[in-house]
Chain A
Amino acid sequence: MLSSLSFGNTGKMKEYHYTGPVEHRFSPYAFNGGTVLAVAGEDFAIVASDTRLSEGYSIHSRDSPKCYKLTDTTVIGCSGFHGDCLTLTKIIDARLKMYKHSNNKMMTCGAIAAMLSTILYGRRFFPYYVYNIIGGLDEEGKGAVYSFDPVGSYQRDTYKAGGSASAMLQPLLDNQIGFKNMEGVQHIPLTKEKAVQLVKDVFISAAERDVYTGDALRICVITKEGVDEQTIPLRKD
């Protein structure tokens, strides 16, 4: 069976790709995995993320949470390329300080979201490889979730999943929080305890099937009292 000679005239084994010459370039991005989730309630918001940092088939860290506290009323979850996540959060922190010093008040959740959109679009032609979700309380004290794409398009949501297991979690949230695809079910508003329980269960399921999600789950619950963090273990394999 000398099929290599039938189409590669040099007789070398590897030459069967006919897409043309391939140029191997240095890629400035890496995919570090991780899943982020945010849920908005009547008077609370929850931002949760797993704590695994991976690359390829290896794990860099089992304790690298992806939620960052910005103010007493806002938490941001960033997943994607960890280098860009760190830089982006540093830039947001700096901008928050600048706003506080020039306007003598803290930025509101909606203002942070609008600002993040402009920061991300400023790098439209060399984007931050980060999937952001902001969770917090708006000016009226109601829960708010803002979800972004890597170049700054955003919208306000009730719930959103982002990151590597987002495609697995979003339909589950659509069903359990949005009551989609269900008939004859009472639309009872989500309580804080039920929401936390749902987030824990949803991450347990994500860790089962997504290799990038696991190790531990960090949940930040934002209420008018402040930001309360809890960590619970997930599968480590």
Chain B
Amino acid sequence: MATLTVNRPPQGGFSFENCRRNALIEGEANKVGCSLPSARKTGTTICGIVFKGGVVLGADTRATEGMVVADKNCSKIHYISPNIYCCGAGTAADTEMTTQLISSNLELHALSTGRLPRVATANRMLKQMLFRYQGYIGAALVLGGIDCNGPHLYSIYPHGSTDKLPYVTMGSGSLAAMAVFEDRYKPDMEEEEAKQLVRDAIAAGIFNDLGSGSNIDLCVISKSKVDYLRPHDEANKKGVRTGDYKYKRGTTGVLTKVVAPLDLEVVEETIQTMDTS
């Protein structure tokens, strides 16, 4: 007698089989006093503005893990195509992977159509993907660029809704930034005025929102050029320590030492500098 096996066809999308188990584990852990690890979110203030001749996108540079700063200088303005850039708030991995995927697909699309990609296309691709995942991909985006129809700016929410507006803000610092925009936005501003307004909006987020901080990055997209200004403004410099905290050789006690020589030949040497600030 053979056992019957029911063959379920592979289901697309997320598998939620473990949700019930995870919820029970979380309940048990909370009883003992521990908590489950959380995904790294970017806290964040991002914004965008349409000015005479293009768009300006701005972002802060702090990434938080809970209420601890994980990255003091992360880049939140992502490349989509030579004429389109996207700022991302929410879960860091989600914004990174989503923008990379759409950037890749848009490049293929552009090669297929033989035309420069349009901002509306990028918007459509992003919203269709985010809606497909029903909000589980925590990416809140500010998409801006310039194409044959002029400058365009969209805000895209994690559940897949989008708004096409002349000025938008997203992230935990969005209220602080929007307050600045609502005060000083005018249609058809000059480039310098627009850059100053975006800089001030992000600065409001940086100083008044605990989830945002460090520096201000700007991206100015116009017909002729793209200025990726990182950092545009180092709004917060690290405090200078007066003491000397170098350790002398031998401060760390060595218990045992085993040397295993490797017989290797140096073929190529590359240097990658770390950000030790």
Interface residues of A (CB under 8 A from B): 1, 3-4, 6-7, 13, 16-20, 54, 56-59, 164, 176, 181-185, 194, 197-198, 200-201, 204-205, 207-212, 234-237
Q: Does B10 contact A (CB under 8 A)?
A: no
Is chain B's interface secondary structure helix, strand, loop, or mixed overall?
loop
In the complex, how many angstroms separate the beta carbon of B13 from the nearest chain A beta carbon?
3
CA distance A79 to B130 in the complex (A): 42
Q: Is the CB of A183 within 8 A of B23?
A: no
Contact B14 A3 (CB under 8 A): yes
Taking the nearest CB of chain A, how far is it from the CB of B73, in angstroms?
11
Are the CB atoms of A201 and B236 closer together than 8 Å? Answer: no
Q: Collect the chain B residues with CB atoms within 8 Å of residue A208's CB.
A: 69, 72, 238-239
Question: Told that A57-B43, A204-B238 touch, could you supply 12 new A-B pairs with CB distance under 8 A?
Answer: A3-B16, A4-B134, A7-B19, A7-B20, A18-B24, A176-B245, A182-B252, A183-B250, A194-B243, A201-B241, A204-B239, A212-B67
Q: What are 29 A-B contacts with C-beta separation under 8 Å?
A: A1-B11, A1-B13, A1-B133, A3-B11, A3-B15, A7-B16, A7-B19, A16-B19, A19-B26, A19-B27, A54-B210, A59-B210, A182-B252, A183-B253, A184-B248, A184-B251, A194-B243, A197-B242, A204-B239, A207-B239, A210-B67, A211-B43, A211-B64, A212-B67, A212-B210, A235-B213, A235-B236, A237-B207, A237-B236
The answer to whether residues A200 and B14 also contact, given A4-B134, A18-B23, A57-B211 and a CB cut-off of 8 A, is: no
Which listed residue, A58, A184, A198, touches B210 by the CB 8 Å rule? Answer: A58
> In B222-277, which residues have CB < 8 Å from any A CB?
235-236, 238-243, 245, 247-248, 250-253
Which residues of the partner chain B approach A209 to less than 8 Å between Cβ atoms? 68-69
In this complex, how many residues of chain B approach chain A with their Cβ under 8 Å: the count is: 47
Contacts of B211 in A (CB 8 A): 57, 211
Nearest residue (CB) in B for A181 is B252
- Chain B residues with Cβ under 8 A from A3's Cβ? 11, 13-16
CA A140 to CA B20, docked complex, whole Å: 61
Contacts of B24 in A (CB 8 A): 18-19
- How far apart are the CA atoms of A208 and B73 in the complex, in Å? 11
Answer whether A182 and B13 are a contact pair too, CB < 8 Å, given A19-B27, A201-B242, A236-B236.
no
Q: How far is the CA of A181 from the CA of B209 in the complex (A)?
A: 37
Q: What is the bound-complex CA distance between A19 and B243, given in angstroms?
A: 51
Does B206 sit within 8 A of A, measured CB to CB? yes
Residue B99, interface by CB 8 Å: no
Interface centre among B69, B207, B208, B210 (most CB of A within 10 A): B210
Asked if B155 CB lies within 8 Å of chain A CBs, one says no
Interface assignment of B212: CB less than 8 Å from any CB of chain A:
yes
| 8 Å CB interface, B186-235 against A | 206-214, 235
Contact partners of A18 in chain B: CB under 8 A? 19-20, 23-24
B260 to chain A, nearest CB (A): 25
From 156 to 193 in chain B, residues with beta carbon under 8 angstroms from any chain A beta carbon are 172
- State the CA gap A197–B243 with chains docked (Å): 7
CB-CB nearest in chain B for A179: B251
The verdict on A57 contacting B207 (CB below 8 Å), with A18-B23, A208-B72 known, is no
Is residue B124 within 8 Å, beta carbon to beta carbon, of the partner chain? no
Give the chain B neighbours of A7 by CB distance below 8 A. 16, 19-20
User: Is residue B118 contacting chain A, with contact meaning CB distance below 8 A?
Assistant: no
9 A-B pairs with least C-beta separation: A1-B13, A204-B239, A237-B213, A19-B27, A201-B241, A211-B210, A183-B253, A18-B23, A237-B236
